[in-house]
Amino acid sequence: MRARRIGGGRGGGGARATRVRGVRARWAGRMPRTQCLGTAIIGAAFCASKCSAERLARDLAFFPPEPPSYALERRVRGEDGETREGDAEERLVAVANDEHVPASYARAFQRVLDAFDVTSVETVRGNEIVVMTCEGADNQSDGADVTVIMSHGNAVDAGEMAPFARKMAQQLACRVVVYDYSGYGQSRGEPSVADTYADIDAVVDFVTQKYGVGLDECVLFGQSIGSGPTCYFASKRENDIGAVVLVSPLLSALHVVSAPDAWCTPAKVFKRMDVYKNYAVVKTINAPVLLIHGDRDEVVHQSHGKALWEAICKHAKPSDAVCEPYWIPGAGHDDTYERNPAEFVRHMRGVCAVVRERYQKQRLAAGASVV
């Protein structure tokens, strides 16, 4: 799945995100056996953040694209289906931001945005965040109303994810929901670890209430930094989530800047102050998990995905449904879908099939009739 800035490049977020990605790429290529200097720098930054891991992550880990790829407008939809400016029965619509989207692509991008129902929901931390929903055809043909909830990667927003989300809705014949974290896109507030947790809580609650779906019909999809809130939510729900898909996932935030074979790394020295500790919470996810990772990933090394897979296998029960991981030859961090779209979709269809099968078995076991 490519998370890239529209019109070129590997993502938004400006020069700051580009510099950080460049540093990560250079480190990933030739990290020394010891990382004492890098660890000392992290320690100094921690002290400068008043020993607050949350504050340090807020300052260093989040890169919302500037400007956002879309703006929001309120319009009225007429009987002919066209949206117009007006006062009554207004609906929220996403509009391509001409400061972000090249003119040559603006019309095509707008057609993609028009395929989404757009709304905003409020989190428990008081931020209004944007939620976009694209419906797939024939979603309930076999009972389960499968809904994929996407938590996107860093340096992109929901608008940039919309083309991929629409493809998934069409190819998987299911509902796909993508949202922006607090401080990303047109969502209010500032990004932080705590806010991403509140964001996914609010989005899942919105989806289950608006569409009447159960958690066992939901597939939580987390890409890169989005694996953090995804694993957080899935791990706190016992036997409820339909399935989890982790694309280029993190072991933890500090593991991203820690060599897998080095000592005195930030992840080891500052383990207690680390955030997005997926390596710990993935063990408690009681749902099928599909791991997708490229073997040329220079942002989040493939060793992260493989270590998560080992943790899942170690703690899986004999009765658990297990999805074989998809390790992608030649894929980097942002092209896991483009490297082989057909194979990516095949694995995603397999996940949806598992969700539908488990849904039917659970309903039949409970004495319910599945349409």
Query: Which amino acid appears at position 106 of this protein?
Result: A
Per-residue pLDDT of 200-230, as tens digits, reads 999 999 999 999 999 999 999 999 999 999 9
**pLDDT for residue 144 is more than 60:** yes
**pLDDT for residue 26 is more than 70:** no
**pLDDT for residue 231 is more than 50:** yes
Which residue's entry shows tokens 């383990």?
271
Question: What pLDDT score does 50 carry?
Answer: 67
| 224 among known catalytic residues | yes
Question: Average model confidence (pLDDT) for the chain?
Answer: 85
Question: Binning pLDDT at 50, 70 and 90, where does residue 138 land?
Answer: low
Q: Residue 261 contacts by C-beta under 8 Å, 6 or more apart in sequence? A: 33
Compute the distance between CA of residue 218 and CA of residue 226 in angstroms, rounded to an integer: 16
Q: Which of 269, 268, 233 is nearest to 251 (CA)?
A: 268
Q: Which of 330, 325, 132 is nearest to 246 (CA)?
A: 325
**pLDDT for residue 242 is more than 80:** yes
Which residue's entry shows tokens 């897998």?
260
DSSP annotation of 226: G
**pLDDT for residue 141 is more than 60:** no
Question: Binning pLDDT at 50, 70 and 90, where does residue 17 land?
Answer: low
Q: Residue 181 contacts by C-beta under 8 Å, 6 or more apart in sequence? A: 62, 129, 151, 187, 191, 195, 196, 199, 229
| 297 among known catalytic residues | yes
Question: Binning pLDDT at 50, 70 and 90, where does residue 249 land?
Answer: very high
Compute the distance between CA of residue 220 and CA of residue 231 in angstroms, rounded to an integer: 9
Better-predicted residue by pLDDT, 145 or 29: 145
Contact 102, 7 (CB under 8 A): yes
Strand order in the sheet with 175-179: 83-84, 70-77, 90-96, 117-122, 128-134, 175-179, 147-151, 218-223, 243-247, 289-294, 326-328
Question: What pLDDT score does 349 carry?
Answer: 97
**pLDDT for residue 183 is more than 80:** yes
Helix (H) / strand (E) element for 18: namely helix 14-30
| 295 among known catalytic residues | no
Active-site position among 333, 334, 335, 347: 333
Active-site position among 151, 182, 224, 227: 224
Q: What angle is formed at CA 23 by the lines to CA 11 and CA 335, rounded to 5 degrees?
A: 35
Question: What pLDDT score does 97 carry?
Answer: 95
The CATH code of domain 54-365 reads: 3.40.50.1820
Better-predicted residue by pLDDT, 361 or 39: 361
Active-site position among 180, 195, 274, 297: 297
Query: 3-state DSSP call for residue 245?
Result: strand
Query: Which amino acid appears at position 234 of this protein?
Result: A
Question: Binning pLDDT at 50, 70 and 90, where does residue 60 land?
Answer: confident
Per-residue pLDDT of 71-93, as tens digits, reads 999 987 654 455 555 545 678 99
Average pLDDT over residues 326-332: 98
Average pLDDT over residues 322-335: 95
**pLDDT for residue 8 is more than 90:** no
**pLDDT for residue 18 is more than 70:** no
**pLDDT for residue 302 is more than 90:** yes
**pLDDT for residue 1 is more than 70:** no
State both tokens at 273: 């102050």
Lowest mean pLDDT among 6-10, 80-84, 256-260: 6-10
**pLDDT for residue 19 is more than 80:** no
Compute the distance between CA of residue 353 and CA of residue 143 in angstroms, rounded to an integer: 12
Average pLDDT over residues 152-172: 97
Question: What pLDDT score does 139 carry?
Answer: 57
Query: Which amino acid appears at position 71 of this protein?
Result: A
Question: Binning pLDDT at 50, 70 and 90, where does residue 6 land?
Answer: very low
Compute the distance between CA of residue 257 and CA of residue 332 in angstroms, rounded to an integer: 17
Q: What angle is formed at CA 166 by the lines to CA 114 and CA 132, rounded to 5 degrees?
A: 60
Contact 208, 198 (CB under 8 A): no
State phi, psi for 140 to the nearest 5 degrees: -105, 25
Helix (H) / strand (E) element for 30: namely helix 14-30
Compute the distance between CA of residue 258 and CA of residue 307 in angstroms, rounded to an integer: 14
State phi, psi for 73 to the nearest 5 degrees: -135, 155
Average pLDDT over residues 279-308: 95
Average pLDDT over residues 313-340: 90
Q: What angle is formed at CA 207 by the lines to CA 204 and CA 208, rounded to 5 degrees?
A: 85
Query: Domain residues of the chain, as ranges?
Result: 54-365
